[in-house]
Amino acid sequence: MLENPRFRLGFSMLVLFTLLAGDAWRLALGWWFFGALTIALTLVAAWLLWLQRARWGVGGMPLPLLTFLALAMASIFWSHYPGATALGLFTTWIIVINAVALAVTFTWAELLRGLGLVLRFVLGVSLLFELFVSGVLRDRLLPFFGQPGVDYESYDRIPGMLMWSRNELFDVFGDGRIQGIVGNANSLGFLALLAVIVFSIQLASSRRQPGAVSRRWGTVWLVLAAATILMTKSATVTLAVVGVAAVLVIALMVRRARTARGRLVVYGASVVAVAASVTAFIVFRAELLELLGKSADLTGRLGIWAKVIDLAQQRPAFGWGWVSYWVPWADPFDDLVFRSGVRQLQAHNTWLDVAFQLGLVGLIVFAALVGAALVKAWQHAVDRPQKAPDAPQRYSAITLLPLLLLVALVVQSLAESRLITEYGLAFLVIVAVKTKRRELL
């Protein structure tokens, strides 16, 4: 079955869709269905890892990843909420097992193809969904299965944040934002950014390479992904676009440099450009925030961060205990942060969340994991291909995939906590494992 192309494509697409658009499953079919599906996929993933046990092992896994997982598991002994920590560890291991199975079982080309198909489906169905809501229903749409613990009885009083769709497709040239099947504009916008990365790499790949697409349809989907980013109006995604574009330009310049001295010049100029950009952001932050449509408190994030920092300082070394996404029924999450009448289940900053849950020790370990993955992804993208001395050096576009995915996630981590759950953690694990194994294609 491992060699069956239909099984390989079907399994990879189902896992990738569940990681990327898990909200769609939960909003449409409920948490019980979502839980059963993820457990079933995890059993299959574990079986695939068992079949390939000779190809991987503890020694083949990145040390920072193993250290981080060990620290998270150990935190149950000092956790303020041991039951929530046990649940958080369960969901974390589900993500890690599926991610490692994807990393070990599939090549980068296969993952590129699977991502391309899944993201086309998510974007296409999301646009049709919003068109149906605005063109046929002409009213806000509640999820079929809502968020646990939320009272959905009074329709008029339900915050827009809890709506599956806010019926704003025809108002996108005003203040409207579309949310798609994932029910969240920021999430849909980030998936559209991932789609831009994937579709661009597919277009840049040779037609003979797996995962490549026809130029006509590839261009159509690339335009739709870019349009979706514009219609979600996410400031976080806008910054991620800038970050990804900057890293891509630097990587391409390094690739074109023929000598070590040339590469040093590119690196030096890049450091100066980054320093100038950071300085400009600090000096003109008020104007830039206004341009991005953000308030001075970053849409309430500063207040959330202040509360999380206060909690982190109470347990600075090892934190309050691992939980990943906050559990709404456990203290202190039950009444920690509310925004627009909605209980918040994350710190809206991955690094503060890790510091709060696992303390300074956990933050250092997690930073080592992300940093090592970034360094290896960079080497993966810019190292010269191993060719015969007299052969032309031709880089493959697909070697940029892990770097650009990780850069997008790191930028997102400054305003969201996705890097420690669902697709964020999964892609971090995939990149860390595959670059550790030195798999280039």
Dump the DSSP string for 356-408: HHHHHHHHHHHHHHHHHHHHHHHHHHHSPP---TTS-----GGGGHHHHHHHH
Average pLDDT score, the chain: 90
- Would you tell me how many other CB atoms lie within 10 Å of the CB of residue 341? 12
Which residue type sits at 32? W
pLDDT in tens, 170-212: 999 988 999 999 999 999 999 999 999 999 999 998 666 655 6
Report d(CA 259, CA 255) in Å as an integer: 10
Residue 389: per-residue pLDDT: 45
pLDDT of 121 above 70:
yes
**Phi, then psi, of 14 in degrees rounded to 5:** -65, -40
The confidence band for 122, taking pLDDT boundaries of 50, 70 and 90, is very high
Name the pTM for this structure. 0.93
Helix, strand, coil fractions of the chain, as percent rounded to 5: 70, 0, 30
More confident site: 431 or 339: 431
Cβ contacts of 289-296, under 8 Å, gap ≥ 24: 289/235, 292/235, 292/238, 292/239, 293/233, 293/235, 294/235
Parse the chain into domains and list their residue ranges: 5-385+393-436
Per-residue pLDDT band at 437 (split at 50, 70, 90): confident
- Please tell me the predicted confidence (pLDDT) of residue 208: 61
Averaged pLDDT for residues 82-87: 96
pLDDT per position as a tens digit, 357-377: 999 999 999 999 999 999 999
Mean pLDDT over 216-226 rounds to: 94
Is the distance from CB of 398 to CB of 201 less than 8 angstroms? yes
Portion of the chain with pLDDT greater than 90, in percent: 69
Q: What is the pLDDT of residue 152?
A: 65
pLDDT for position 55: 74
**Backbone dihedral angles phi then psi of residue 231, each to the nearest 5 degrees:** -80, -15
> Of 272-286, 331-345, 408-422, where does the model show the most confidence?
408-422
Q: Is the pLDDT of residue 243 over 90?
A: yes
What is the model's pLDDT at position 58?
63
For 60, phi then psi, to 5°, come to -95, 0
pLDDT at 85 over 60: yes
- Pairwise CA distance, residues 45 & 40, whole Å: 9
